[in-house]
Structure 1
Amino acid sequence: MKALCWHGKHDIRCDTVPDPVIEHPRDAIVKVSSCAICGSDLHLYNGFVPGMEKGDILGHEFMGEVVEVGPANRRLRVGDRVVVPFTICCGECDQCRRGNFSVCERTNRNKASADKVFGHATAGLFGYSHLTGGYAGGQAEYVRVPYADVAPVKIPDGLSDESVLFLGDILPTGWQAAAQCDIQPEDIVAVWGAGPVGLFCVMSALLQGARRVIAIDRVPERLAMAGELGAIPLNFEKVSIPQALNEQTAGKGPDSCIDAVGLEAHATGSLDSAYDRVKQAVMLESDRPHVLREMIYVCRPAGVLSVPGVYGGLVDKIPMGALMNKGLTVRTGQTHVNRWTDDLLRRIRLGEFDPSFVISHRVTLEEGPDMYQAFREKQDGCVKVVMRVG
C-alpha cells in the first residue's frame, strides 16, 4: 500500500509499504477514505519530537471503512464507516473508566521509555513517535486499529467525510480546550493561534457561552476566518498583545487564555523569542514557550490557562512567580476524544456547525509530501489539508 513516511527533518515521502494485518483479536483494519495533516504533525516534520524512526508512517486524523475485524471484536462489522480517534484506549483501565482516554494505562507499547521521559506514559497515539507506542499512522491506504472495539466512532449515512473527519482530533481538541476554561456568561476568552485547532477553540468558546472571544495570530486568512466566526482578531505583528488585551478587557485581562500554538511559538521583535531560538539551536531548550509566558502575564488573576497546543520537552524562563501569585489554574493534556464525540456528532447531525469550514486544500495522498511544506510555510492561504485516499 501507499503511505506517507517520515525519513528525517523536512523529509516526508510517499512510500510503498506492507499492508497491515490483524495482530490481536480486538483489532480492525480500516481502508482509509480521508486523512489530514495536523498542525502537530509539523512538529514531527520540523524534527522537534523525539522518538521518530526512519520509515515511520505518519498521520493521526483519518477515517474510512472497516474491511476486516478480529474475532474478539463484536462492536464493528465489515462495511462500517468510522472515524478513528488519534488516542488509542483500552476502555478498561482506571484512567479509561474515568474518561481520561488520552492517558490510557495499557495502550502505549513503549511505556517503559515514555515513563523515563514523562514520569508516566501517555496513551498510545497513531503516527506520533515511538514514545507514544510507535503505531503506524493514518496517512496511508490502510491502518491497523488496535482496541478497535472501543474508540472508533461509527458514522451514520448521509454525512460527508469532510463534515465528520475532524471528530478524530482537532474538533474535540478545540472543544476540550474551551471546556477546560469553565466559561461563564460574562467571560472574555483569548485564543493564541488561529490555525485549525485555534479556530475550533474560537467556535467552541462561543458555543459554550463566552461573551467575547479574541483570536491572536499573524496570518491574514486565519484572522479573517476567526472574525467570520465572531471573534475579535488581533495581529501580533501589528499591535502589542498585552496592550490590546488590556483595552479589550477594561484593564482586567481575559478570564481565560488558550494556547493553541504549542512548542513552536513565533513572536515579532520579542527578546524572549530570540532567546528561545538561540537556546533551541544549541539544544539547551526543546520548546519555544513565548505564548505560555504571555498568557501568564496577561491573564486576569484567578483565571484559567488552557493548553491544547503540543509541547514535547523542556521550556525555560517560565514566570512561576506571576503564575503562583495571580492564582492561575493551568489545564493541559492530549484530548480525551471519546469524552466528547457523541455530543459533537449530534451537533453536526443537527446542523449546529459544519467543521469542514477549516479546509483550504484538498489533495491526493501522493501530493501529501509537498503539502507538508505548504502547510508549514502557510503558502497559498493553507489552513487545513485534507487528503482523499484511493
Structure 2
Amino acid sequence: MRALAWHGKHDVRVDTVDDPEILNPRDCIIKVTATAICGSDLHLYDHYIPTMQAGDILGHEFMGEVVEVGSKSTLKKGERVVVPFTIACGSCYHCGKHQYSACDNGLPADNQDIGQEMYGQPMAGLFGYSHLTGGYAGGQAEYVRIPFSDVGPIVIPDGIEDEKVLFLSDILPTGWMAAENAQIEPGDTVAVWGCGPVGLFAVQSAFLMGAERVIAIDHFPHRLELAKKFGAETINFEESATYDALMVMTGGIGPDAVIDAVGLEAHGFFVDNVVDQIKASMFLGTDRTHSIRQAIIACRKGGRVSMPAVYGGFVDKFPLGAFMEKGLTLKTGQTHVQHYMPGLLNAIMEGKIDTTFLISHRMDLEEAPKGYKMFHDNQNEVTKVVLKPGLGFAA
C-alpha cells in the first residue's frame, strides 16, 4: 500500500509499504477514505517530538471503511467509521473513568519505559505519533490496523459525507474538551490563544457552552476572520499588546477563563519566546511556552486555565508565583476522544456544530508532502488539509 512516512526533519515521503494485518482478535483493518494533517503533525515535521524513526507512518486524524475484522471486533465489514486518535482498551482503571487518553493498555509493553522515564508514568497509545506513544502506524495511508476496534471507532450513518465527521477523530473533541476544561459559566468572558483548528473549535464550543464573550488571539488575519464568524472578538498580537488589550476589554479584571491552543512552538517576537528559541536551537531547552505564560498572567484572579495545546518537555520561566497567588485552576491532557464522540456526532447531525468551514485544501494522498509544506509555511491561507487516497487532484 501507499503511506506517508517520516524520514527526518521536514522530510516526509509517500512510500510503498507492507499492508497492515490483523494481529489481535480485537483488531480491524480499515480502508482510509479521508485523513487530515493536524497542527500536532507539524511538531513531528519540525522534529520537536522525540523517538521518531525513519519510515514511521504518520497521521492520527482519519476515517474509512472496515475491510477486515478480528474474531472479537464488534465492527462489520463495509461499515464507515471515524477512528479516535487515542488508543484505549475500554476496561482498565482509567478507561473505567472515561479517561481514555490515560489508558494503561493502549501502549505496547516495550514502549512503556520511555514514557515512564520522561513523565513518571507511560503515556497513552496514539496513532502515528512517535514511539513515545507506541510507534503505531498512522492513518495517512491507504489502510490502517485499528487495535481495540470494539472500543474506539464510531460507526457513521449512511448519508453523512466524510468531511462533516472526519474531525471527530481529534480536533473537534479536543476543542470541545478544552472549553469543558475551562468550566465555562453563563456570562463568562473566555480568551483563546491560537486560532488554528483546535482554537477555532474551542471558540465555537465556548459559545455553545454559554460564554457571553469569546476573545480570540492570533496573528493570522484569515484565522481571526474565521473566529469572528462565530461571534468572537479578536486581538492580533502583532498589532496590539495582548495583555493590555485584554485588560481594556475586561475592565481591568481579566478573562474568567483562558484556553491555550498554541503549544510548544509559539510564534511572536517576544523576549521570552526568543530566549526559548535560542535554548531549543542549542539543545538547552525544548518547548516555546510564551502563550501559556501569557494566558496565566492575563487570567483573572480565581479564574480557570485550560491547556489543550501540546507540550513535550521541561520548561522554565513558568509563572508559578502568579498561578498560586491568583488562585488559578489548570486542566489539561490528551483528549478522551471516545467519551465525546457520540454526543458530538449527534450535534453534527442536528446541525448544531459546523466542521467543514475549516477545510481549505483537499489533496490526493500522493501529494501529502506538498500539503505538509504548505501547512507549515502558509498558516494564514492553509487552515486544514484533507488527504484522500485516489482523489487525483488538489483543490
TM-score tier after normalising by the smaller chain length = over 0.9
For 1:283, the equivalent position in structure 2 comes to: 283
Over the aligned positions, Cα root-mean-square deviation in angstroms equals: 0.8
Letter in structure 2 aligned against 1:313:
G
Q: For residues 220-276 of structure 1, give each alpha carbon's deviation from its aligned partner in whole angstroms, at most 9, with x where no partner exists.
A: 1100000111111110000000010001111100011101010000123x1111111
How far is 1:154 from its partner? Answer: 0.5
Whether the 8 Å CA contact 2:219–2:236 is kept in 1: the answer is yes
Question: Deviating runs (4+, > 3 A) in structure 1?
Answer: none
Report the CA distance shift for 1:380/1:312 in structure 2 as closer, same or farther (over 3 A): closer
| Superposition map of 1:225-264 within 5 A | 225-264=226-265
Q: For residues 5-45 of structure 1, give each alpha carbon's deviation from its aligned partner in whole angstroms, at most 9, with x where no partner exists.
A: 00000000010000000000100000000000000000000
Report the CA distance shift for 1:364/1:191 in structure 2 as closer, same or farther (over 3 A): same
Q: For residues 291-328 of structure 1, give each alpha carbon's deviation from its aligned partner in whole angstroms, at most 9, with x where no partner exists.
A: 01101111001111101110011111101110111011
For 1:4, the equivalent position in structure 2 comes to: 4
Letter in structure 1 aligned against 2:350:
L
Mark the runs of 5 or more structure 2 residues left unpaired by the alignment.
Answer: 391-395
Q: Distance in 1 between matches of 2:234 and 2:15?
A: 41
For 2:61, the equivalent position in structure 1 comes to: 61
1:15 partner SS: strand
Letter in structure 2 aligned against 1:34:
A
How far is 1:380 from its partner? Answer: 7.1
Q: Distance in 2 between matches of 1:157 and 1:275?
A: 52
Q: Distance in 2 between matches of 1:317 and 1:208?
A: 33
Q: Distance in 1 between matches of 2:145 and 2:294?
A: 41
Percent of pairs identical after alignment? 57
Letter in structure 2 aligned against 1:118:
Y
Q: Distance in 2 between matches of 1:316 and 1:90?
A: 35
How far is 1:379 from its partner? Answer: 5.7
Q: For residues 36-63 of structure 1, give each alpha carbon's deviation from its aligned partner in whole angstroms, at most 9, with x where no partner exists.
A: 0000000000010001000000000000
Matched, 1:90 2:89: yes
Q: For residues 86-143 of structure 1, give each alpha carbon's deviation from its aligned partner in whole angstroms, at most 9, with x where no partner exists.
A: 0000000000010000010011111122111111112100000001000000000000
Q: Distance in 2 between matches of 1:182 and 1:34?
A: 33
Letter in structure 1 aligned against 2:284:
L
Letter in structure 2 aligned against 1:89:
A
Q: Distance in 1 between matches of 2:120 and 2:380?
A: 41
Work out the number of aligned pairs and report it.
388
How far is 1:81 from its partner? Answer: 0.4
Q: Distance in 2 between matches of 1:288 and 1:31?
A: 37
Q: Distance in 1 between matches of 2:388 and 2:306?
A: 33
Q: For residues 308-356 of structure 1, give each alpha carbon's deviation from its aligned partner in whole angstroms, at most 9, with x where no partner exists.
A: 1100111111011101110110111000001111110001111112211
Q: Distance in 2 between matches of 1:169 and 1:91?
A: 18
Q: Distance in 1 between matches of 2:190 and 2:138?
A: 34
Letter in structure 2 aligned against 1:331:
K
Q: For residues 185-228 of structure 1, give each alpha carbon's deviation from its aligned partner in whole angstroms, at most 9, with x where no partner exists.
A: 11100000001111000000000000000000001110000011
For 2:339, the equivalent position in structure 1 comes to: 339
For 1:329, the equivalent position in structure 2 comes to: 329
Structure-2-length-normalised TM-score: 0.97
For 2:197, the equivalent position in structure 1 comes to: 196
Whether the 8 Å CA contact 1:374–1:380 is kept in 2: the answer is no
| Superposition map of 1:167-316 within 5 A | 167-268=168-269, 270-316=270-316
Structure-1-length-normalised TM-score: 0.98
Q: Distance in 1 between matches of 2:142 and 2:153?
A: 17
